[in-house]
Amino acid sequence: MSAPTNSLRGRLITFEGGEGAGKSTQIRLLAGRLAQAGVEIAATREPGGSPRAERLREFLLSGRAAPLGALGEAVLFAAARIDHVDSLIEPALERGAFVLCDRFMDSTRAYQGAMGKADARMIALLEKVALGDLKPDLTIVLDLPAREGLARAARRRGTTTQPDRFEREEASFHEGLRDAFLDIASSEADRCCVVDALAPKEEVSQAIWRLVEARFLAPAARAQ
Ligand code: TYD
């Protein structure tokens, strides 16, 4: 299979979901399949993805920004996103690459908006400030019960690494997050696809590949 030829511009595919949903594993697997199909990949993450945004990531995940409140934290996530979009995402899309991003604007909507109770209008404004007209072409929401995700995240951390600012939140926060991501997916069903993340990782990867192939690589998609 060859790379899409319909336009020079690439695609932005974001991965969202609660803690321990397997986003980074699935990004790695999708990147491998896309590379085999001859597509240039830029795999990245938020918060972070550029040197300046990675410094903000450290600050946010340490919990030092928490006293600012959810809206204050959202401002810092947006600042990190501006730099990430300008320095990595836009140039990659302009080159025709597929950008695979581990978390993006929907995490701000879910964590700081729905769960942090920051005013939804302010979150929408920040989104506009950070992204302008940029929107993901596809958002994969990896869905699983919060308890299972937290157990996976704890196993991944082992005994030496401390949980970060958001992993430390209570179980009810994480259950609420799951609902928040599902609400976003149903309100923007054209952009978002929910994938069952409880299934074995090869099955999850296959489901994601079918979605990406049909949308972006099938002959009909290329002709658009
Ligand atoms: P990370 O270790 O990447 O978490 P995960 O492996 O679960 O993706 O840490 C990112 C954390 O930051 C995660 O708990 C979600 C949170 N976050 C927000 O609260 N708002 C945001 O806008 C973004 C991008 C992330």
Per-residue confidence at 5, pLDDT binned at 50, 70, 90?
very low
Stated pTM of the model: 0.94
CA distance 75 to 136: 20
* Angle formed at CA 211 by CA 205 and CA 214, multiple of 5 degrees: 130
Q: Shortest CA distance to 85 belongs to which of 126, 29, 124, 34?
A: 126
pLDDT in tens, 72-85: 999 999 999 999 99
pLDDT of residue 159: 86
For ligand 1, say whether the CB of 108 is within 6 Å of any of its atoms.
yes
Query: What's 116's DSSP letter?
Result: T
Query: What's 38's DSSP letter?
Result: T
Can you tell me the mean pLDDT for 2-29?
A: 86
Taken in order of first residue, the domains within the chain and their CATH numbers are 11-223 (3.40.50.300)
Look at residue 98 and give its three-state secondary structure: strand
- Distance (angstroms) between ligand 1 centre and the Cα of 47 equals 7
pLDDT of residue 223: 60
For ligand 1, say whether the CB of 23 is within 6 Å of any of its atoms.
yes
pLDDT in tens, 76-131: 999 999 999 999 999 999 999 999 999 999 999 999 999 999 999 999 999 999 99
Ligand 1 atom nearest to CA at 23: 8
CA 60 to the chain's CA centroid: 17
Give DSSP secondary structure letters for 159-171.
TTSPP-TTTTS-H
Element (H, E) at 151: helix 146-157
pLDDT in tens, 137-195: 999 999 999 999 999 999 988 988 899 999 899 989 999 999 999 999 999 999 999 99
For ligand 1, say whether the CB of 174 is within 6 Å of any of its atoms.
no
Residue 35 makes CB contacts below 8 A (sequence gap 6+) with 41
Lowest-confidence range among 53-62, 137-146, 211-220? 211-220
